[in-house]
A and B are shown apart, each in its own frame.
Chain A
Amino acid sequence: MGMTIAEKILAKKSGQAKVGPGDLVTVEVDTVVLIDNSFTASRWREILKVRDPDRIVVVFDHRVPASTTDSAEAHGTGRRFVEKFGIRRFHDVGYSQGISHQLVADHGYALPGSVLVCSDSHTCSAGVFNCIARGVGEPDVVYSAIKGETWFRVGETVRYELGGKLSRAVTAKDAFLQISGEHGDHATQNVEFGGPGVASLSIPARKTLTTMGAELSAEFATFEADEVMEEWLRARNPRPFESVCPDKDARYAAVRKVDLSALEPLVALPDSVIRNSRPVAEAAGTRIDQAFIGSCANGTLDDLALAAAVLNGQRVASTVRLIITPGSQHIYREAAKQGIIATLAEAGAVVTPSTCGACGGGHLGLLGPNETCITASTRNFKGRMGDPSARIYMGSPATVAASAIRGSITDPRDFLS
Protein backbone atom coordinates (compact mmCIF):
# COMPACT_ATOMS: atom_id res chain seq x y z
CA MET A 1 0.00 0.00 0.00
CA GLY A 2 1.37 3.41 -0.99
CA MET A 3 1.46 6.72 0.84
CA THR A 4 -0.27 10.10 0.50
CA ILE A 5 1.76 13.32 0.12
CA ALA A 6 1.71 13.99 3.86
CA GLU A 7 2.71 10.43 4.70
CA LYS A 8 5.59 10.49 2.23
CA ILE A 9 7.02 13.69 3.64
CA LEU A 10 6.59 12.51 7.24
CA ALA A 11 8.29 9.22 6.39
CA LYS A 12 11.24 10.89 4.71
CA LYS A 13 11.69 13.50 7.42
CA SER A 14 11.54 10.91 10.18
CA GLY A 15 14.03 8.65 8.38
CA GLN A 16 11.59 5.80 7.85
CA ALA A 17 10.62 3.89 4.74
CA LYS A 18 6.98 4.01 5.60
CA VAL A 19 4.55 5.67 8.02
CA GLY A 20 0.80 5.33 8.32
CA PRO A 21 -2.20 6.56 10.30
CA GLY A 22 -1.75 6.09 14.04
CA ASP A 23 2.02 6.47 14.03
CA LEU A 24 3.81 9.07 16.12
CA VAL A 25 6.87 10.41 14.31
CA THR A 26 9.76 12.69 15.22
CA VAL A 27 10.75 14.79 12.21
CA GLU A 28 13.45 17.21 11.26
CA VAL A 29 12.12 20.79 11.00
CA ASP A 30 13.38 22.89 8.07
CA THR A 31 11.74 26.20 8.91
CA VAL A 32 10.64 27.66 12.25
CA VAL A 33 8.56 30.85 12.11
CA LEU A 34 8.25 32.98 15.25
CA ILE A 35 5.60 35.71 15.45
CA ASP A 36 5.20 38.76 17.69
CA ASN A 37 2.62 37.07 19.94
CA SER A 38 5.26 34.54 20.98
CA PHE A 39 7.41 37.31 22.45
CA THR A 40 4.62 38.51 24.75
CA ALA A 41 5.92 38.75 28.33
CA SER A 42 3.32 36.31 29.69
CA ARG A 43 4.39 33.71 27.11
CA TRP A 44 8.02 34.13 26.03
CA ARG A 45 10.81 32.05 27.52
CA GLU A 46 14.25 33.32 26.61
CA ILE A 47 16.06 30.95 24.25
CA LEU A 48 19.76 30.48 25.06
CA LYS A 49 20.77 28.42 22.06
CA VAL A 50 19.35 27.77 18.59
CA ARG A 51 20.07 24.89 16.26
CA ASP A 52 20.53 27.01 13.14
CA PRO A 53 19.60 30.71 12.83
CA ASP A 54 19.16 30.28 9.08
CA ARG A 55 16.22 27.97 9.68
CA ILE A 56 14.41 30.66 11.66
CA VAL A 57 12.08 33.38 10.37
CA VAL A 58 10.82 36.14 12.68
CA VAL A 59 7.69 38.09 11.76
CA PHE A 60 5.70 40.77 13.54
CA ASP A 61 2.10 40.55 12.37
CA HIS A 62 -0.58 40.21 15.01
CA ARG A 63 -0.28 43.67 16.54
CA VAL A 64 1.42 45.90 14.02
CA PRO A 65 2.24 48.72 14.46
CA ALA A 66 2.23 48.08 18.22
CA SER A 67 -1.25 48.66 19.64
CA THR A 68 -0.36 48.69 23.34
CA THR A 69 2.77 49.08 25.43
CA ASP A 70 2.62 45.31 25.99
CA SER A 71 2.80 44.60 22.27
CA ALA A 72 5.53 47.22 21.85
CA GLU A 73 7.48 45.41 24.57
CA ALA A 74 6.95 42.09 22.78
CA HIS A 75 8.36 43.61 19.58
CA GLY A 76 11.39 44.82 21.52
CA THR A 77 11.98 41.33 22.93
CA GLY A 78 11.71 39.93 19.40
CA ARG A 79 14.25 42.40 18.03
CA ARG A 80 16.75 41.48 20.74
CA PHE A 81 16.26 37.78 19.94
CA VAL A 82 16.91 38.45 16.24
CA GLU A 83 20.05 40.43 17.01
CA LYS A 84 21.42 37.94 19.50
CA PHE A 85 21.31 35.05 17.05
CA GLY A 86 21.93 37.00 13.84
CA ILE A 87 18.65 35.94 12.25
CA ARG A 88 18.56 37.23 8.70
CA ARG A 89 14.97 36.53 7.76
CA PHE A 90 13.39 39.17 9.99
CA HIS A 91 10.23 41.07 9.04
CA ASP A 92 9.97 44.08 11.32
CA VAL A 93 7.39 46.85 11.03
CA GLY A 94 8.07 48.59 7.71
CA TYR A 95 9.10 47.60 4.20
CA SER A 96 9.20 43.81 4.49
CA GLN A 97 6.46 43.31 7.09
CA GLY A 98 3.33 41.26 6.55
CA ILE A 99 1.25 38.43 7.93
CA SER A 100 3.57 35.48 8.50
CA HIS A 101 1.73 33.02 6.27
CA GLN A 102 1.60 35.57 3.47
CA LEU A 103 5.32 36.28 3.80
CA VAL A 104 6.10 32.58 3.55
CA ALA A 105 4.38 32.69 0.14
CA ASP A 106 5.82 36.07 -0.91
CA HIS A 107 9.37 34.86 -0.21
CA GLY A 108 9.12 31.18 -1.08
CA TYR A 109 10.22 30.18 2.42
CA ALA A 110 8.42 26.80 2.28
CA LEU A 111 9.80 24.36 -0.29
CA PRO A 112 8.18 21.11 -1.46
CA GLY A 113 8.88 18.15 0.77
CA SER A 114 9.96 20.31 3.71
CA VAL A 115 8.60 20.74 7.25
CA LEU A 116 7.59 24.16 8.58
CA VAL A 117 6.17 25.04 12.00
CA CYS A 118 4.91 28.28 13.52
CA SER A 119 2.92 29.04 16.65
CA ASP A 120 -0.13 30.13 14.71
CA SER A 121 -2.97 27.83 13.74
CA HIS A 122 -3.12 28.96 10.10
CA THR A 123 0.43 27.81 9.40
CA CYS A 124 -1.13 25.03 7.27
CA SER A 125 -1.31 27.83 4.67
CA ALA A 126 2.20 26.92 3.47
CA GLY A 127 0.93 23.49 2.41
CA VAL A 128 0.09 25.17 -0.89
CA PHE A 129 3.77 24.58 -1.67
CA ASN A 130 3.56 20.79 -1.43
CA CYS A 131 5.06 20.67 2.05
CA ILE A 132 4.11 19.79 5.60
CA ALA A 133 3.24 22.89 7.61
CA ARG A 134 1.47 22.97 10.93
CA GLY A 135 0.42 25.40 13.58
CA VAL A 136 1.92 24.27 16.89
CA GLY A 137 2.13 25.69 20.39
CA GLU A 138 4.71 28.24 21.48
CA PRO A 139 6.65 25.65 23.50
CA ASP A 140 6.79 23.52 20.32
CA VAL A 141 8.23 26.42 18.36
CA VAL A 142 10.82 27.11 21.03
CA TYR A 143 11.71 23.41 21.11
CA SER A 144 11.99 23.25 17.30
CA ALA A 145 14.19 26.35 17.16
CA ILE A 146 16.50 24.84 19.77
CA LYS A 147 16.52 21.16 18.78
CA GLY A 148 15.63 21.28 15.08
CA GLU A 149 12.92 18.66 15.41
CA THR A 150 9.36 18.08 16.55
CA TRP A 151 6.74 15.31 16.75
CA PHE A 152 3.57 14.72 14.75
CA ARG A 153 0.76 12.23 14.96
CA VAL A 154 0.11 10.71 11.54
CA GLY A 155 -3.55 10.92 10.56
CA GLU A 156 -5.43 9.47 7.64
CA THR A 157 -5.84 11.60 4.54
CA VAL A 158 -8.92 12.91 2.72
CA ARG A 159 -8.28 13.85 -0.89
CA TYR A 160 -10.19 16.54 -2.77
CA GLU A 161 -10.14 16.15 -6.54
CA LEU A 162 -10.77 19.58 -7.99
CA GLY A 163 -12.33 19.77 -11.45
CA GLY A 164 -13.71 22.54 -13.68
CA LYS A 165 -13.03 26.25 -13.26
CA LEU A 166 -14.42 28.95 -10.99
CA SER A 167 -16.74 31.53 -12.57
CA ARG A 168 -15.99 35.24 -12.17
CA ALA A 169 -17.88 36.03 -8.97
CA VAL A 170 -17.01 32.72 -7.30
CA THR A 171 -13.70 32.26 -5.45
CA ALA A 172 -11.60 29.69 -3.66
CA LYS A 173 -13.25 30.93 -0.46
CA ASP A 174 -16.58 29.72 -1.80
CA ALA A 175 -14.96 26.39 -2.63
CA PHE A 176 -13.80 26.19 1.00
CA LEU A 177 -17.27 27.07 2.31
CA GLN A 178 -18.68 24.34 0.09
CA ILE A 179 -16.29 21.79 1.64
CA SER A 180 -16.75 22.92 5.26
CA GLY A 181 -20.51 23.16 4.78
CA GLU A 182 -20.91 19.75 3.22
CA HIS A 183 -18.25 17.67 4.96
CA GLY A 184 -17.73 19.37 8.33
CA ASP A 185 -14.48 19.20 10.25
CA HIS A 186 -11.47 17.06 9.35
CA ALA A 187 -10.04 16.73 12.85
CA THR A 188 -7.18 14.19 13.08
CA GLN A 189 -7.09 14.00 9.25
CA ASN A 190 -4.86 15.45 6.54
CA VAL A 191 -6.39 17.20 3.56
CA GLU A 192 -4.81 16.75 0.12
CA PHE A 193 -5.82 18.82 -2.92
CA GLY A 194 -5.23 17.69 -6.48
CA GLY A 195 -6.96 17.04 -9.77
CA PRO A 196 -7.26 18.79 -13.13
CA GLY A 197 -9.00 21.85 -11.63
CA VAL A 198 -5.83 22.89 -9.78
CA ALA A 199 -4.30 24.26 -12.97
CA SER A 200 -7.01 26.95 -13.19
CA LEU A 201 -6.31 28.24 -9.68
CA SER A 202 -3.62 30.86 -8.99
CA ILE A 203 -1.23 30.28 -6.10
CA PRO A 204 -3.06 32.89 -3.97
CA ALA A 205 -6.37 31.10 -4.65
CA ARG A 206 -4.88 27.74 -3.71
CA LYS A 207 -3.41 29.32 -0.61
CA THR A 208 -6.88 30.41 0.53
CA LEU A 209 -7.83 26.72 0.55
CA THR A 210 -4.79 25.52 2.51
CA THR A 211 -5.02 28.42 4.98
CA MET A 212 -8.62 27.56 5.71
CA GLY A 213 -7.52 24.00 6.47
CA ALA A 214 -7.11 25.25 10.05
CA GLU A 215 -10.86 25.85 10.21
CA LEU A 216 -11.40 22.22 9.24
CA SER A 217 -9.12 21.29 12.18
CA ALA A 218 -6.99 19.41 9.65
CA GLU A 219 -3.54 18.22 10.71
CA PHE A 220 -2.03 19.23 7.36
CA ALA A 221 -3.45 20.68 4.16
CA THR A 222 -1.27 20.02 1.13
CA PHE A 223 -1.49 20.67 -2.60
CA GLU A 224 -0.05 18.55 -5.32
CA ALA A 225 2.79 20.28 -7.12
CA ASP A 226 2.58 21.62 -10.67
CA GLU A 227 4.55 23.90 -12.99
CA VAL A 228 2.77 27.02 -11.73
CA MET A 229 3.84 26.29 -8.16
CA GLU A 230 7.39 25.36 -9.11
CA GLU A 231 7.75 28.57 -11.15
CA TRP A 232 6.45 30.64 -8.25
CA LEU A 233 9.08 29.17 -5.94
CA ARG A 234 11.98 29.37 -8.40
CA ALA A 235 11.26 33.07 -8.84
CA ARG A 236 11.60 33.60 -5.08
CA ASN A 237 14.02 31.09 -3.63
CA PRO A 238 17.21 29.87 -5.31
CA ARG A 239 17.41 26.62 -3.30
CA PRO A 240 16.78 23.35 -5.14
CA PHE A 241 13.76 21.24 -4.26
CA GLU A 242 11.97 18.10 -5.28
CA SER A 243 8.18 17.95 -5.44
CA VAL A 244 6.33 15.06 -3.81
CA CYS A 245 3.56 13.11 -5.58
CA PRO A 246 1.19 10.76 -3.80
CA ASP A 247 1.72 7.09 -4.62
CA LYS A 248 -0.74 5.66 -7.15
CA ASP A 249 -1.94 3.17 -4.55
CA ALA A 250 -2.01 5.64 -1.66
CA ARG A 251 -4.74 4.94 0.85
CA TYR A 252 -7.30 7.69 1.52
CA ALA A 253 -10.05 7.86 4.11
CA ALA A 254 -12.12 9.38 1.30
CA VAL A 255 -11.67 10.83 -2.18
CA ARG A 256 -14.18 13.57 -2.92
CA LYS A 257 -14.77 15.51 -6.12
CA VAL A 258 -15.36 19.26 -6.15
CA ASP A 259 -16.64 20.74 -9.43
CA LEU A 260 -15.42 24.33 -9.33
CA SER A 261 -17.66 25.25 -12.29
CA ALA A 262 -20.80 24.33 -10.38
CA LEU A 263 -20.09 26.46 -7.28
CA GLU A 264 -22.01 29.59 -6.35
CA PRO A 265 -21.24 32.33 -3.83
CA LEU A 266 -21.73 31.09 -0.27
CA VAL A 267 -21.67 32.57 3.21
CA ALA A 268 -21.11 30.92 6.57
CA LEU A 269 -23.59 31.96 9.23
CA PRO A 270 -22.15 33.33 12.52
CA ASP A 271 -20.04 31.39 15.05
CA SER A 272 -18.75 28.48 12.94
CA VAL A 273 -17.90 27.44 9.41
CA ILE A 274 -18.61 23.79 10.13
CA ARG A 275 -21.78 22.66 8.37
CA ASN A 276 -22.95 26.24 8.47
CA SER A 277 -22.74 27.45 4.84
CA ARG A 278 -25.67 28.80 2.82
CA PRO A 279 -26.08 30.30 -0.64
CA VAL A 280 -25.67 34.08 -0.29
CA ALA A 281 -29.32 34.50 -1.33
CA GLU A 282 -30.44 32.91 1.95
CA ALA A 283 -28.69 35.56 4.05
CA ALA A 284 -29.21 38.40 1.57
CA GLY A 285 -30.69 41.52 3.10
CA THR A 286 -29.12 41.00 6.54
CA ARG A 287 -27.97 44.48 7.58
CA ILE A 288 -24.28 44.86 8.42
CA ASP A 289 -22.26 47.40 10.39
CA GLN A 290 -18.80 46.34 9.30
CA ALA A 291 -17.23 44.54 6.37
CA PHE A 292 -13.66 43.24 6.40
CA ILE A 293 -11.35 41.93 3.69
CA GLY A 294 -7.93 40.74 4.77
CA SER A 295 -6.06 38.09 6.80
CA CYS A 296 -3.70 35.31 5.77
CA ALA A 297 -6.55 33.75 3.78
CA ASN A 298 -7.84 36.75 1.82
CA GLY A 299 -5.30 39.57 1.82
CA THR A 300 -3.67 38.62 -1.48
CA LEU A 301 -3.30 40.81 -4.56
CA ASP A 302 -6.01 38.68 -6.25
CA ASP A 303 -8.37 39.41 -3.37
CA LEU A 304 -7.75 43.16 -3.42
CA ALA A 305 -8.15 43.26 -7.21
CA LEU A 306 -11.44 41.39 -6.98
CA ALA A 307 -12.72 43.76 -4.29
CA ALA A 308 -11.69 46.70 -6.49
CA ALA A 309 -13.54 45.20 -9.45
CA VAL A 310 -16.72 45.14 -7.36
CA LEU A 311 -16.19 48.57 -5.80
CA ASN A 312 -15.02 50.38 -8.92
CA GLY A 313 -17.20 53.49 -9.33
CA GLN A 314 -19.33 52.54 -6.30
CA ARG A 315 -19.56 53.97 -2.81
CA VAL A 316 -19.63 52.04 0.48
CA ALA A 317 -22.99 52.48 2.26
CA SER A 318 -22.89 55.28 4.83
CA THR A 319 -23.93 52.81 7.55
CA VAL A 320 -20.98 50.49 6.93
CA ARG A 321 -17.26 50.54 7.78
CA LEU A 322 -15.38 48.66 5.08
CA ILE A 323 -11.88 47.76 6.30
CA ILE A 324 -9.38 46.30 3.84
CA THR A 325 -6.00 44.99 4.98
CA PRO A 326 -3.39 43.75 2.50
CA GLY A 327 -1.65 40.54 3.55
CA SER A 328 1.81 42.09 3.32
CA GLN A 329 3.40 45.47 2.67
CA HIS A 330 4.69 44.00 -0.59
CA ILE A 331 1.10 43.36 -1.68
CA TYR A 332 0.16 46.85 -0.46
CA ARG A 333 2.81 48.40 -2.73
CA GLU A 334 1.80 46.25 -5.71
CA ALA A 335 -1.85 47.18 -5.21
CA ALA A 336 -0.87 50.84 -5.03
CA LYS A 337 1.13 50.59 -8.27
CA GLN A 338 -1.81 48.98 -10.03
CA GLY A 339 -4.28 51.63 -8.88
CA ILE A 340 -6.20 49.12 -6.74
CA ILE A 341 -5.70 51.03 -3.50
CA ALA A 342 -6.97 54.23 -5.15
CA THR A 343 -10.13 52.47 -6.35
CA LEU A 344 -10.80 51.03 -2.90
CA ALA A 345 -10.19 54.32 -1.13
CA GLU A 346 -12.32 56.21 -3.67
CA ALA A 347 -15.19 53.86 -2.83
CA GLY A 348 -14.82 54.73 0.85
CA ALA A 349 -12.89 51.70 2.10
CA VAL A 350 -10.40 52.19 4.94
CA VAL A 351 -7.22 50.56 3.66
CA THR A 352 -4.93 49.70 6.58
CA PRO A 353 -1.28 48.72 6.72
CA SER A 354 -0.66 44.99 6.68
CA THR A 355 -1.43 43.30 10.01
CA CYS A 356 -3.67 40.61 11.42
CA GLY A 357 -5.69 43.52 12.75
CA ALA A 358 -9.43 43.08 12.57
CA CYS A 359 -9.13 39.34 11.82
CA GLY A 360 -7.82 38.48 15.27
CA GLY A 361 -9.83 41.09 17.15
CA GLY A 362 -6.65 42.10 18.96
CA HIS A 363 -6.50 45.67 17.77
CA LEU A 364 -7.88 47.81 14.97
CA GLY A 365 -11.46 47.61 13.74
CA LEU A 366 -13.11 45.70 16.59
CA LEU A 367 -16.85 45.01 16.69
CA GLY A 368 -19.11 46.49 19.35
CA PRO A 369 -22.00 44.80 21.18
CA ASN A 370 -24.70 43.38 18.91
CA GLU A 371 -23.02 44.56 15.73
CA THR A 372 -23.06 42.51 12.55
CA CYS A 373 -20.03 41.98 10.34
CA ILE A 374 -19.36 40.12 7.13
CA THR A 375 -15.75 39.11 6.82
CA ALA A 376 -13.43 37.68 4.21
CA SER A 377 -10.92 36.41 6.75
CA THR A 378 -10.33 33.11 8.45
CA ARG A 379 -12.51 32.68 11.48
CA ASN A 380 -15.99 33.62 12.70
CA PHE A 381 -16.00 32.26 16.26
CA LYS A 382 -18.14 34.07 18.78
CA GLY A 383 -16.14 37.01 20.12
CA ARG A 384 -13.38 36.55 17.56
CA MET A 385 -13.50 40.08 16.18
CA GLY A 386 -14.60 41.97 19.26
CA ASP A 387 -17.63 41.79 21.53
CA PRO A 388 -19.02 38.25 22.01
CA SER A 389 -22.53 39.43 21.12
CA ALA A 390 -21.43 40.52 17.63
CA ARG A 391 -22.51 38.31 14.70
CA ILE A 392 -19.85 37.41 12.15
CA TYR A 393 -20.81 36.11 8.71
CA MET A 394 -18.07 34.88 6.40
CA GLY A 395 -17.86 35.16 2.64
CA SER A 396 -15.51 35.84 -0.26
CA PRO A 397 -13.90 39.24 -0.87
CA ALA A 398 -16.40 39.75 -3.71
CA THR A 399 -19.37 39.02 -1.45
CA VAL A 400 -17.99 41.27 1.30
CA ALA A 401 -17.38 44.15 -1.12
CA ALA A 402 -20.86 43.82 -2.65
CA SER A 403 -22.39 43.73 0.85
CA ALA A 404 -20.48 46.86 1.86
CA ILE A 405 -22.01 48.78 -1.05
CA ARG A 406 -25.59 47.79 -0.26
CA GLY A 407 -25.24 47.87 3.54
CA SER A 408 -26.60 44.36 3.76
CA ILE A 409 -25.45 40.91 2.69
CA THR A 410 -25.47 40.86 -1.10
CA ASP A 411 -24.75 38.39 -3.90
CA PRO A 412 -21.61 39.59 -5.70
CA ARG A 413 -23.12 38.60 -9.04
CA ASP A 414 -25.25 41.75 -8.71
CA PHE A 415 -22.02 43.68 -9.37
CA LEU A 416 -19.91 41.22 -11.38
CA SER A 417 -21.65 39.73 -14.36
Chain B
Amino acid sequence: MKFQGRVWIVGDNINTDLILPSAAFYLKPEEQVRYVFSANRPGWADEVKPGDILIGGKNFGMGSSRPAARSLKNLGLSCLLAPYINGLFFRNCVNFAFPAVECPGVDEAFEEGDIAEVDFERAAVKNVTRGTALAGKPMPPKLLALVQAGGIYPLLEKEGLIAPRAERR
Protein backbone atom coordinates (compact mmCIF):
# COMPACT_ATOMS: atom_id res chain seq x y z
CA MET B 1 0.00 0.00 0.00
CA LYS B 2 1.34 3.41 -1.00
CA PHE B 3 -0.10 6.73 0.01
CA GLN B 4 0.58 10.32 -0.89
CA GLY B 5 -1.22 13.18 0.82
CA ARG B 6 -1.21 16.42 2.71
CA VAL B 7 -0.29 16.05 6.38
CA TRP B 8 -2.05 17.24 9.49
CA ILE B 9 -0.03 17.44 12.68
CA VAL B 10 -1.30 16.93 16.21
CA GLY B 11 0.83 16.95 19.35
CA ASP B 12 1.98 14.38 21.88
CA ASN B 13 -0.33 12.24 24.02
CA ILE B 14 -3.47 12.66 21.93
CA ASN B 15 -6.07 10.51 23.69
CA THR B 16 -9.01 8.46 22.48
CA ASP B 17 -11.54 10.71 24.21
CA LEU B 18 -10.43 13.52 21.89
CA ILE B 19 -10.79 11.31 18.81
CA LEU B 20 -14.10 9.68 19.71
CA PRO B 21 -15.79 11.59 22.56
CA SER B 22 -18.40 9.70 24.54
CA ALA B 23 -21.02 12.17 23.29
CA ALA B 24 -20.69 10.46 19.89
CA PHE B 25 -20.89 6.87 21.15
CA TYR B 26 -24.33 5.98 19.91
CA LEU B 27 -24.16 7.71 16.57
CA LYS B 28 -23.64 5.76 13.39
CA PRO B 29 -19.93 5.34 12.61
CA GLU B 30 -20.17 7.71 9.65
CA GLU B 31 -21.68 10.39 11.90
CA GLN B 32 -19.10 9.90 14.65
CA VAL B 33 -16.37 11.33 12.44
CA ARG B 34 -17.67 14.87 12.82
CA TYR B 35 -16.66 14.73 16.50
CA VAL B 36 -13.00 13.89 15.92
CA PHE B 37 -10.88 16.46 17.80
CA SER B 38 -13.96 18.62 18.43
CA ALA B 39 -12.61 19.48 21.90
CA ASN B 40 -9.09 20.46 20.88
CA ARG B 41 -9.53 21.42 17.20
CA PRO B 42 -13.15 22.40 16.57
CA GLY B 43 -14.12 22.32 12.90
CA TRP B 44 -11.09 20.27 11.89
CA ALA B 45 -13.04 17.20 10.82
CA ASP B 46 -14.72 19.27 8.08
CA GLU B 47 -11.38 20.37 6.62
CA VAL B 48 -9.95 16.87 6.18
CA LYS B 49 -9.91 15.64 2.59
CA PRO B 50 -9.88 11.99 1.59
CA GLY B 51 -6.29 10.76 1.37
CA ASP B 52 -4.89 13.22 3.91
CA ILE B 53 -2.33 11.82 6.33
CA LEU B 54 -2.30 12.32 10.10
CA ILE B 55 0.96 12.76 11.99
CA GLY B 56 0.61 12.18 15.70
CA GLY B 57 3.05 12.74 18.52
CA LYS B 58 4.38 10.37 21.15
CA ASN B 59 2.03 7.72 22.55
CA PHE B 60 -0.64 8.62 20.03
CA GLY B 61 -4.06 7.26 20.95
CA MET B 62 -3.56 6.75 24.66
CA GLY B 63 -6.68 5.95 26.66
CA SER B 64 -9.63 3.70 26.02
CA SER B 65 -10.40 0.72 23.83
CA ARG B 66 -13.21 2.46 21.93
CA PRO B 67 -12.98 2.12 18.12
CA ALA B 68 -11.34 5.52 17.66
CA ALA B 69 -9.00 4.22 14.94
CA ARG B 70 -12.10 3.40 12.91
CA SER B 71 -13.19 7.05 13.18
CA LEU B 72 -9.88 8.25 11.72
CA LYS B 73 -10.25 5.77 8.88
CA ASN B 74 -13.88 6.72 8.25
CA LEU B 75 -12.85 10.37 8.15
CA GLY B 76 -10.94 9.51 4.98
CA LEU B 77 -7.41 9.71 6.35
CA SER B 78 -5.22 7.28 4.45
CA CYS B 79 -2.77 6.53 7.24
CA LEU B 80 -1.31 7.49 10.59
CA LEU B 81 2.33 8.23 11.30
CA ALA B 82 3.71 8.73 14.81
CA PRO B 83 7.00 8.26 16.65
CA TYR B 84 5.25 5.58 18.68
CA ILE B 85 1.63 4.61 18.97
CA ASN B 86 -0.15 3.61 22.15
CA GLY B 87 -0.31 -0.20 22.38
CA LEU B 88 -4.09 -0.45 22.59
CA PHE B 89 -4.61 2.10 19.81
CA PHE B 90 -2.12 0.25 17.62
CA ARG B 91 -4.19 -2.91 18.09
CA ASN B 92 -7.27 -1.09 16.89
CA CYS B 93 -5.40 0.24 13.85
CA VAL B 94 -4.68 -3.39 12.97
CA ASN B 95 -8.21 -4.50 13.88
CA PHE B 96 -9.87 -1.93 11.63
CA ALA B 97 -7.18 -2.04 8.94
CA PHE B 98 -6.14 1.58 9.35
CA PRO B 99 -2.52 1.68 8.15
CA ALA B 100 -0.31 2.98 10.96
CA VAL B 101 3.44 3.41 10.87
CA GLU B 102 5.64 3.92 13.91
CA CYS B 103 8.43 6.17 12.72
CA PRO B 104 10.79 7.84 15.19
CA GLY B 105 11.33 11.52 14.39
CA VAL B 106 8.32 11.82 12.08
CA ASP B 107 6.69 14.43 14.31
CA GLU B 108 9.70 16.72 13.79
CA ALA B 109 10.19 16.03 10.10
CA PHE B 110 7.02 17.67 8.78
CA GLU B 111 5.16 20.92 8.96
CA GLU B 112 1.42 20.93 8.60
CA GLY B 113 0.46 21.11 4.94
CA ASP B 114 3.61 19.33 3.68
CA ILE B 115 3.08 16.41 1.33
CA ALA B 116 4.05 12.96 2.59
CA GLU B 117 4.63 9.78 0.67
CA VAL B 118 4.32 6.51 2.56
CA ASP B 119 5.20 2.97 1.54
CA PHE B 120 3.26 1.14 4.22
CA GLU B 121 4.74 -2.35 3.88
CA ARG B 122 8.30 -1.05 3.98
CA ALA B 123 7.47 1.67 6.54
CA ALA B 124 9.30 4.15 4.33
CA VAL B 125 8.25 7.78 4.79
CA LYS B 126 9.19 10.71 2.56
CA ASN B 127 8.59 14.40 2.99
CA VAL B 128 7.98 15.29 -0.66
CA THR B 129 7.82 19.02 0.11
CA ARG B 130 11.22 19.11 1.78
CA GLY B 131 12.85 16.21 -0.05
CA THR B 132 13.72 14.27 3.13
CA ALA B 133 13.21 10.60 4.01
CA LEU B 134 12.73 8.60 7.21
CA ALA B 135 12.71 4.91 8.05
CA GLY B 136 9.89 3.62 10.20
CA LYS B 137 9.37 0.20 11.79
CA PRO B 138 7.66 -2.24 9.43
CA MET B 139 4.70 -4.07 10.94
CA PRO B 140 5.38 -7.71 11.85
CA PRO B 141 4.18 -9.95 8.95
CA LYS B 142 1.31 -11.44 10.95
CA LEU B 143 -0.17 -8.00 11.67
CA LEU B 144 0.52 -6.74 8.18
CA ALA B 145 -1.49 -9.67 6.84
CA LEU B 146 -4.42 -8.68 9.06
CA VAL B 147 -4.36 -5.12 7.75
CA GLN B 148 -4.11 -6.35 4.16
CA ALA B 149 -7.10 -8.64 4.76
CA GLY B 150 -9.16 -5.57 5.71
CA GLY B 151 -9.03 -6.14 9.47
CA ILE B 152 -10.48 -8.69 11.84
CA TYR B 153 -14.18 -8.46 11.00
CA PRO B 154 -13.89 -9.06 7.24
CA LEU B 155 -11.60 -11.98 8.04
CA LEU B 156 -14.02 -13.57 10.52
CA GLU B 157 -16.95 -12.86 8.22
CA LYS B 158 -15.23 -14.65 5.36
CA GLU B 159 -14.68 -17.65 7.59
CA GLY B 160 -18.37 -17.66 8.52
CA LEU B 161 -17.64 -16.97 12.18
CA ILE B 162 -19.55 -13.71 12.47
CA ALA B 163 -22.75 -12.65 10.74
CA PRO B 164 -22.57 -10.19 7.85
CA ARG B 165 -23.14 -6.65 9.03
CA ALA B 166 -26.86 -5.98 9.29
CA GLU B 167 -27.93 -2.64 7.84
CA ARG B 168 -29.90 -0.81 10.46
CA ARG B 169 -31.41 2.58 11.05
> A residues touching B (Cβ–Cβ < 8 Å)?
24, 26, 37, 40-43, 45-49, 68, 70-71, 119-121, 134-140, 142-143, 146, 151, 153, 155, 185, 187-188, 217, 219, 272, 274, 360-362, 379, 381-384, 388
Contact = CB atoms under 8 A, between A and B. Distances in A.
B15 A381 contact: yes
Given A45-B165, A382-B18, A143 B143 contact: no
B29 to A, nearest CB: 6
Interface string B42-60: 0000000000000000110
A42 B13 contact: no
Given A43-B67, A139-B152, A188 B87 contact: yes
B65 A121 contact: yes
A45 B162 contact: yes
Contact of A388 (B27, B39, B58): B39
Contacts of B25: 37, 40, 42, 362
A217 B86 contact: yes
Given A121-B63, A274-B13, A362 B22 contact: yes
B162 A383 contact: no
Nearest to A63: B25
Interface stretch (B2-10, B91-99, B103-111, B125-133): B91-99
**Most B C-beta atoms less than 10 A away, residue of A121, A139, A151, A188:** A139
B148 interface: no
B87 A219 contact: yes
Contacts of B65: 119-121, 135-138
A41 to B, nearest CB: 6
Q: How large is the interface on B (under 10, 10 to 19, 20 to 34, 35 or more residues)?
A: 35 or more
A159 B123 CA distance: 32
Nearest to A187: B59
**Most B C-beta atoms less than 10 A away, residue of A49, A143, A272:** A143
A113 to B, nearest CB: 21
17 contacts: A42-B25, A46-B163, A46-B166, A48-B160, A70-B26, A121-B64, A135-B64, A137-B88, A139-B152, A140-B95, A142-B152, A217-B86, A362-B22, A381-B17, A382-B17, A383-B17, A383-B39
A135 B64 CA distance: 8
B21 interface: yes
Contacts of A26: 142
Contacts of A45: 153, 156-157, 162-163, 165
A360 B22 contact: yes
B95 to A, nearest CB: 4
Given A153-B87, A383-B17, A42 B162 contact: no
Contacts of A120: 64-65
B163 A217 contact: no
Top 5 A-B residue pairs of the complex, sorted by shortest distance between their CB atoms:
A139-B152, A139-B95, A388-B39, A46-B163, A70-B26
B161 to A, nearest CB: 5
**Most B C-beta atoms less than 10 A away, residue of A121, A137, A217:** A137
A362 B32 CA distance: 15
B59 A48 contact: no
A139 B96 contact: yes
Given A45-B165, A48-B162, A217-B86, A137 B95 contact: yes
A42 B28 contact: yes
B143 A140 contact: no
Nearest to A138: B67
A272 B14 CA distance: 11
Contacts of B156: 45, 142-143, 146
Contact of A137 (B22, B58, B92, B169): B92
A46 B162 contact: yes
A139 B18 CA distance: 21
A402 to B, nearest CB: 28
A381 B162 contact: no
Nearest to A382: B39
A383 B142 CA distance: 36
A382 B22 CA distance: 12
Interface string B11-40: 001010110011001111100100000011
Interface in B138-169: 140, 142-143, 151-153, 156-157, 160-163, 165-166, 168-169
B62 interface: yes
B84 interface: yes
Given A71-B26, A139-B95, A155-B87, 4 more contacts: A140-B152, A153-B140, A217-B87, A382-B18
Contacts of A274: 13
A137 B160 CA distance: 20
B88 A42 contact: no
Contacts of B21: 383, 388
**Most B C-beta atoms less than 10 A away, residue of A43, A136, A217:** A217
A384 B69 CA distance: 18
Given A142-B152, A187-B86, A381 B95 contact: no
Contacts of B64: 120-121, 135
